[in-house]
A and B are shown apart, each in its own frame.
Chain A
Amino acid sequence: MSTALATDRSVSTHKHPPARPQKQRRTSVLGTAALMLGALYCLTPVAWVVIAATKSRDDLFDTLTFMPGTSLFENIHDLTTYRGGMFWEWTANTAFYAGAGAFLSAVLSGLTGYTLAKYRFRGRNVIFNILLAGVLVPAVTLAIPQYLLMAKVGLTDSYWSVLLPSIVSPYGMYLARIYAAAAIPDSLIEAARTDGASDVRIFSMIALPIMRPGLVTVFLFQFVAIWNNFLLAFVMLSDDHKFPLTVGLYTLLRQGNTTPALYTLVITGSLLSILPLAALFLTLQRYWRIDLLSGATKG
């Protein structure tokens, strides 16, 4: 039960390391070097795309890999005018799928997790175990079955076909249940009941505000998962006006095979598609409570 409570400490230690007894230890050269090597490995492709996006079509294949060019704004302009602003349509679609999907997913997870944690009723364990099994069902393998069903009801190639499957996150429900069990005191719910508050009111006015930090985490994880998802939209959609960025960039790359001029657009688009998530990461660092994920396993 110490899960969510222990987290605050582990989060705060990121920023303020506890005072160490011996003032400053010797630096471990080998350890630091290994860590920096890892950082270099992870940053290299990102650095490459930042530089490559500044190169013109001709420079891309002709100049030194890490030599910046001067065509960044030209490339962005080309990308913006490509097929009447198609790239920005993809961006808007992705923002919609990820924003709406993650929001609905967090609300649904919150309600479900709260109910599973705070009510006792017949069938509770059965429902919880089925949800838990859902965590292990390979989500990607589901995309084709989901397509078959959507095709049956004529929903393929619609916004719903991508949005609906994105809302259900068994893992989000699982996390929300753990968070609700740890963070909401039973006495609070009982006190509210005694005061005559309805179940809906207790959930929306008491439970939801308490669960907010946990649900923000669920929202962020789901947001990234939907933003980065490829297969679901790839399978469901054929109208390129409904594509998310991932599928759009993929189709551009495939055409680039025959029209190398498109490579510059693909590279510039890749850079622009990473920026929103990278910004989300750096600004909302304190909400990235992955400790929920690992804390959940401590039993």
Chain B
Amino acid sequence: MSVDATPAGRSRKRTAPNLVPYVFLAPAVVLFTLVLLVPIGYTAYLSFRKVKVSGLGLGKGSRKEIFAGLDNYQATFTDPELWAGALRVLGYGAILLPAMLLSALLFALLLDAPRTRFARFGRIAIFLPYAVPSVVASLLWGFLYLPAVSPLHYVLERFGVEGPDLLGQGSIVGALANIGVWGGVGFNMIVIYTSLRAIPRELFESARIDGCSEWQIAWRIKIPLVTPALIMTTVFSLIATLQVFTEPTTLAPMTNSLSSTWTPLMKIYRDAFVRNDLYSAAATSIVIAGITLILSFGFLRAVQNRAFGSEDQ
């Protein structure tokens, strides 16, 4: 598939390695190193440091950065606030991921089914939220949850029923998951749908001739054939879910149910920028990045790495 790096004219033995590919890759390697590798390395370094305050902590030289060993990690793992946040994210993901991915699959199958009408309109309408920044999405839903504005409350009040507090302690996880579903279902639907369109149509025709119903075709032929797309959408949704930050941060001014450490990433932000404790923020960042990697790699391994096989193996 690939061209030999040596110019085609010279077919004798290579004397010096061709530098061209290295020059071409240099910008990417330099930038990748600067914005990914070095920050990760620096954060790992910081996570093993702490500040030692001598005397009253006033004046120059009284605050010194020293090696901390695993202190920051120990603090991270024994922090009840962080675990509570992790648990909330788990609950959030348990609602968001199945609801979003299953409805994305359902809509994709409906778009692909020959008997569905208005498919083009449905496709554009459901994809539209992808164009809405998650800050704005949270803001829109936040207003729709407010009793003074919400159409749900308006209707319920007409019937003399008091509307539920959608931003209260009991329903905030669901309210946030709903924003996630709304923002993500269209994109995932399109990924699955496009993958469905790539299946040869003849396959369905012969199944129909054999008397298969549309549901059987969907279940027995379509879903197995789009498994790679399902795996990929699951991995990316999983990564996004574990890092949830924008939606609860945006909703926080509208409700008392969202503390500043509601999700692990919010806690990192609070530690780093409100408390100026970079060291424990660094340790927590490393732990969360590690857990995310383990989960996404683990998921890929569990499904036999079918999603990211390099194409020329």
Q: Which residues of A contact B (CB under 8 A)?
A: 1, 3, 6-7, 9-10, 13-14, 18, 20-21, 25-28, 31-32, 34-36, 38-39, 41-46, 48-49, 52, 60-61, 64-66, 108, 111-112, 114-122, 124, 127-128, 130-132, 134-138, 140-142, 144-149, 152, 164-165, 167-168, 170, 173, 178, 181, 186, 189-190, 193-194, 199, 203, 224, 227-231, 234-235, 245-247, 249-250, 253-254, 256-257, 263, 266-267, 270, 273-274, 277-278, 280-282, 288, 290-291, 293-299
Contacts and interface: CB of A to CB of B under 8 A. Distances in A.
A218 to B, nearest CB: 13
A138 B139 contact: no
Nearest to A12: B197
Nearest to A136: B296
Nearest to A147: B272
Contacts of B132: 45-46, 228, 274, 277
Contact of B43 (A148, A280, A297): A148
B178 to A, nearest CB: 9
B150 to A, nearest CB: 7
A60 B272 CA distance: 38
Given A25-B115, A35-B116, A145 B5 contact: no
Task: In the A-B complex, list the 9 residue pairs whose CB atoms are closest, starting with the nearest.
Answer: A145-B39, A39-B125, A28-B115, A297-B228, A277-B131, A294-B195, A228-B133, A119-B21, A10-B197
B118 A32 contact: yes
Interface string B132-156: 1111110111011000111100100
A294 B192 contact: yes
B269 A140 contact: no
B239 A136 contact: yes
Central interface residue in A20, A167, A288, A290, by most chain B CB within 10 Å = A290
B85 interface: no
B118 A36 contact: yes
Contact of A121 (B17, B34, B107): B17
Given A42-B129, A144-B272, A291-B198, A273 B136 contact: yes
Interface in B222-275: 226, 228-229, 231-232, 235, 239, 242-243, 245-246, 249-250, 253-254, 265, 268-269, 272-273
Contact of A294 (B22, B124, B194, B310): B194
Contacts of B89: none
A60 B190 CA distance: 35
Contacts of A112: 24-25, 27-28
Given A45-B144, A145-B285, A231-B246, A35 B232 contact: no
Given A119-B2, A138-B242, A193 B107 contact: no
B8 A230 contact: no
Given A146-B39, A173-B28, A181-B311, A295 B194 contact: yes
A263 B281 CA distance: 33
B133 A38 contact: no
Nearest to B25: A115
